[in-house]
Amino acid sequence: MTGDGVNDAVALKAADIGIAMGQTGTDVCKEAADMILVKDDFYTIMAAIEEGKAIFHNIRNFVRFQLSTSIAALSLITLSTVFHFPNPLNAMQILWINIIMDGPPAQSLGVEPVDHDVLKKPPRKVTDPMIDRRLIINIITSAVVIVVGTLCVFYAEMRDGKVTPRDTTMTFTCFVFFDMFNALSCRSQTKFIFQIGFFSNRVFLISVLLSIAGQMAVIYFPPLQYVFQTEALSASGK
């Protein structure tokens, strides 16, 4: 709701967001409003709505990525404990996933460019929760894919009944790459990555590449191999 006169004060006060004119608005109108349009330029309202919707949806993308990864890691350890499997990931590897691998991609989701389809959607209700049923389903689906894929790799690697550093390294690496693909899918709730473009968010692309480079260092750099208990992987699988 916008207004500039004394008669608009009641409506501005009752509105979810009341906007008063900064140059032509009365003092009563300004006091009743939530915001003041300093230059009386209505275009800035459109820009603010666009930015607000982008921030809201980027927060949802961030939450989806962080929760799905955390749930996947927790479920992986829980299932291994319940079914008396050896732990597929050690403590240092879990810390690496939660802090290093998830951090940069998650932060870069916050600067995702505005999706024009989002701007066409009607305003949401004030009472609508940020984490709705659809988002919960997306989070659970992503977590299930990561857990099932990682457990399948772990089971295939330990068919001989022994768990070697190579087995845990393979499982660790597969979890990380599942996580990176999850980050790609979290860039939009309604579109595929091919529709929004790989290069539309260069910050995200750089963060993912740096995360992958860090994972390669953990696998092939001897001092980090000792810390994370990993082993160099080869294309031959030996």
Q: Spell out the SS3 assignment of 40-61.
A: CCCHHHHHHHHHHHHHHHHHHH
Q: What is the pLDDT of residue 104?
A: 87
Q: Assign 149 a pLDDT band (cuts: 50, 70, 90).
A: very high
Q: Assign 63 a pLDDT band (cuts: 50, 70, 90).
A: very high
Q: Is residue 233 part of a domain?
A: no
139 vs 42: which has the higher pLDDT: 139
Q: What is the pLDDT of residue 238?
A: 55
Whole-structure pTM value: 0.83
Domain containing residue 157 = 53-228
CA distances from 43 to 28, 37, 234 (A): 24, 10, 57
Q: Which residues contact 51 (CB under 8 A, 6 or more apart)?
A: 114
Tell which residue, 117, 111, 127, 76, has the closest CA to residue 97. 76
CA distances from 158 to 85, 172, 236 (A): 10, 14, 17
Q: Assign 112 a pLDDT band (cuts: 50, 70, 90).
A: confident
Q: CA triplet 94, 99, 102: central angle to 5 degrees? A: 95
Q: Is residue 138 part of a domain?
A: yes
Q: What is the pLDDT of residue 219?
A: 93
Residues 33, 57 within the same domain? no
Instruction: Give yes or no for a contact between 130 and 58, defined as CB atoms under 8 angstroms apart.
Output: no
129, pLDDT greater than 80: yes
Residues 111, 177 within the same domain? yes
Residues 26, 78 within the same domain? no
Residues 120, 17 within the same domain? no
Q: What are phi and psi of 15, to 5 degrees?
A: -70, 155
Residues 29, 70 within the same domain? no
43 vs 202: which has the higher pLDDT: 202
Q: Is residue 44 part of a domain?
A: no
Residues 59, 31 within the same domain? no
Tell which residue, 161, 69, 45, 50, has the closest CA to residue 113. 50
Residues 106, 151 within the same domain? yes
Q: Assign 236 a pLDDT band (cuts: 50, 70, 90).
A: low
Q: Is residue 236 part of a domain?
A: no
118, pLDDT greater than 80: no
Q: Is residue 46 part of a domain?
A: no
Q: Is residue 45 part of a domain?
A: no
Q: What are phi and psi of 127, to 5 degrees?
A: -85, -5
Residues 65, 143 within the same domain? yes
Q: What is the pLDDT of residue 36?
A: 86
Q: What is the pLDDT of residue 217?
A: 94
Residues 74, 33 within the same domain? no
Residues 86, 149 within the same domain? yes
CATH number of the domain encompassing residue 177: 1.20.1110.10
Q: What is the pLDDT of residue 220?
A: 93
Q: Is residue 190 part of a domain?
A: yes
Average pLDDT over the chain reads 86
Q: Is residue 123 part of a domain?
A: yes
Mean pLDDT (whole number) for 169-183: 92
Q: What is the pLDDT of residue 147?
A: 93
Q: Assign 221 a pLDDT band (cuts: 50, 70, 90).
A: very high
Residues 105, 179 within the same domain? yes
Residues 212, 98 within the same domain? yes
Q: What is the pLDDT of residue 172?
A: 92
Instruction: Give yes or no for a contact between 186 and 109, defined as CB atoms under 8 angstroms apart.
Output: yes
Q: Which of 32-41, 93-102, 117-126, 173-182 shows the lowest per-residue confidence on average (mean pLDDT)?
A: 117-126
Give the chain's domain count: 2
- Tokens found for residue 194: 């091919």
**Residue length of the chain:** 238
